Structure 1
């Protein structure tokens, strides 16, 4: 698989997790149902509004956890990313279960009756299809994106992969202070080039590497003003 395809898969999964989490958290604060509580006498029924936070508080919590996973995915790699993908899938399952429990008519009627100050029976119940449906879609998207990350996430690039080549040990002079002091005691000049090719030049009487031909030329024939 090419690097371009890996990056495309990674971006798609990351966007799916972000979209699913946003759908869960956004839909939770909306009105999921409206109920009418019967009052005694000729008075009109009292309206009661039930939001997603009221009937399915776990949906908002799992959405927040999935949003945190959006920030954690770029910082992980290998097995850690696969484990995080499994957690995202579990967040989606928990969100689906919360939406299902929160949209049952019996649960909504009991909640509406508890929230009403009229202490009457629920005369009518109207359940919205938009916001609970959006929350369920977001949870399902988390399940799919998390499962895909669990299977394929180990092959995707990570946030620090582009900097890995800069962290490789160099071949130049040592930065250890003890080694520098040893070089000074032996008479070696630590400012001279000790990189590749330096060992091919002969040493002088003090054990220092002889200057390169280009350096000798510059010293022997200084540039005239």
Structure 2
């Protein structure tokens, strides 16, 4: 009964840890996925008798910070796994700041004036812009990813010190086996019987 009660907090901490990792990965993927899409379109009226053209704005043109913040969040995911204690709390604070930065970048980049400036810069001809429309699904995905990063960062900041560390079983298996320190007479008897005196599990061979 006591063992079950002691194991319960460990299970809770492990679930929190895995949830923070999953949320960080999800937020990073959402930012990167949305950054590859067209966020806005504008109609450009050209001079003379030329037909109007459509100017498309990708996230890299409208809000270039989204892609960079997504890659930074992936790097922070690896840091969450590799760190412990206060260092992990610092990584959590960084993840939360990445989420806040992404939210602020999307809000600033979607202002009509900012979109009009970005469309004018990306246009390949001179003309007047008209009919600017936003494909809201992709900015919404970026905002959702930013919000998820904010949640995972706050969770790591508050609870990160209690989470488990990276397993050290590989270091334990790779450590050299300690040799036995038996008396010289015992070592000679082991050699005489055909057993390896440095192997603790070896059994003397029957003659």
Which one of the candidate residues 61, 75, 93 is aligned to 2:100? 93
* Residues 2-50 of structure 1, C-alpha deviations (whole Å, 9 max, x = no match): 1111111111110000000000011011000000111123433210000
2:24 is the counterpart of 1:17: yes
Query: C-alpha distance in 2, partners of 1:102/1:191?
Result: 77
Q: Which moved more, 1:13-22 or 1:115-124?
A: 115-124
Bigger relative contact order, structure 1 or 2 (CA pairs below 8 A, ≥6 apart)? 2
* 3-state SS, counterpart of residue 2 of structure 1: helix
User: What TM-score do you get using the length of structure 2 for normalisation?
Assistant: 0.79
Which one of the candidate residues 118, 121, 133 is aligned to 1:126? 133
2:88 is the counterpart of 1:81: yes
Q: Which moved more, 1:44-53 or 1:16-25?
A: 44-53
Matches within 5 A, 1:104-123: 104-123=111-130
Q: Which runs of 5+ in 1 are unaligned?
A: 175-182, 193-214
Q: 1:85 to 1:162 in 2, by over 3 A?
A: farther
Q: 1:166 to 1:79 in 2, by over 3 A?
A: farther
2:134 is the counterpart of 1:147: no
* 3-state SS, counterpart of residue 44 of structure 1: coil
Query: C-alpha distance in 1, partners of 2:89/2:43?
Result: 48
Are 1:21 and 1:64, in contact at CA under 8 Å, matched by a contact in 2? yes
Aligned-residue offset at 1:160 = 2.5
Query: C-alpha distance in 2, partners of 1:115/1:31?
Result: 13
Are 1:25 and 1:63, in contact at CA under 8 Å, matched by a contact in 2? yes
Query: C-alpha distance in 1, partners of 2:62/2:133?
Result: 14
Q: Which runs of 5+ in 2 are unaligned?
A: 1-7, 189-202
* Residues 162-211 of structure 1, C-alpha deviations (whole Å, 9 max, x = no match): 6798799x99747xxxxxxxx9xxx745849xxxxxxxxxxxxxxxxxxx
Matched residues, number: 185
User: What TM-score do you get using the length of structure 1 for normalisation?
Assistant: 0.73
Q: CA RMSD in A?
A: 2.8
* 3-state SS, counterpart of residue 164 of structure 2: coil
1:177 counterpart residue number: none
Q: 1:68 to 1:189 in 2, by over 3 A?
A: farther
Query: C-alpha distance in 1, partners of 2:92/2:185?
Result: 54
